Amino acid sequence: MRAPKLCLLLLVFLLSSTTYNNACTRVVYKGPENIVITARSMDWKEEINANLWAFPKGMQRSGEVGSKSIEWTSKYGSIITTAWDIATADGMNEKGLVANILWLVESKYPTFNPDGQEKGLSISLWAQYILDNFATVKETVNYMKDEPFVVVSDYIPGTEKFTTLHLSISDANGDNAIFEYINGKLIIHHDPSYTVMTNSPVFNEQLALNEYWQGIPGTIMLPGTNRAADRFVRASYYINAIPQTSDIRTAIASTFSVIRNCSVPFGISSEEEPNISSTRWRSVSDQKHLTYYYEAALTPNVFWVDLKDFDLSSNGKVMKLDLSNFATYNGKANGFFKESKPFKFLGL
């Protein structure tokens, strides 16, 4: 890439990166002996009121967009983190497939006609639909490439902010894919090497920016701001610089250190740069051992959930871990989940 073209690309990104206030990061670690670990941060300007839920297989679901909603029965159980108990923001299913929702201001979804022929799916269920129905990235991509339904977005309740998201998935084999809706068309980026995703610009431009930085040794210089491009570069460098080890304790600790490095210090925000928002929570998914780790900024303990210790069969119960009122957990937290009525996903 010629230098003037790169400089223009960088300038366009710097200008565009101040138009949103969600600045999450997602990164995938691959180690020896089939260790795959996906980490993400959730950055938001205000509290996002997350809870953890364990869903068994066999749940009846609707796309929540009216009579043209897609309907399905979940094939796999999952552990998920919600946003305000109206949407799935993050999670892992019993096959080790992980789904992460991040903000992408450039998103533009297809027009949905409630009286038309196409089926629809509320964006609040996008990640949950993937976790419910698929075991691998390849299986997901093969199904989604034909756009079997329309993703339908709406405003975040109580705000004038229209929801614009993209979706990353990774599986226990180390495969990765990114799903973005650009100008009403689904764009799928599928390659095991796509281990990092942040926010704007669109994913192919993130790759171009990272290619430039790969020519500069990370031990000499790395970009250090909270901007999405800088976080992408740091995550890409550090996830390959940390130890490649089969010791899961070390691998988890190392992956946590990378996602913390790409987080935004708590309490930081900027009216001039609304893309800079505090990290509210982080998750780390061990896809080999089916263990889901969680860390919140205001309750600074790491706890974890072992999917294998839940009854995720069709006879299992919906279980909730309530994180409201700064509830604090430490270590394995399966025993603190309580049977609960499922929350209602936000729809039209």
Residue numbers annotated as active site: 24
Residue 64 near residue 347 (C-beta atoms within 8 A) = yes
Beta-carbon contacts of 41 under 8 Å, excluding residues fewer than 6 positions away, are 24, 25, 26, 259, 262, 263, 264, 279, 281, 282
> Cα dist. 285→37, 39, 41, 75, 92 in Å?
5, 6, 12, 20, 7
Adjacency order of strands within the sheet including 87-93: 185-190, 176-182, 165-170, 98-103, 87-93, 78-83, 52-55, 319-321, 338-339
Residue 198 phi/psi, 5-degree rounding, is: -125, -140
- Residue 206, H or E segment: helix 203-213
CA 151/CA 221 separation, integer angstroms: 40
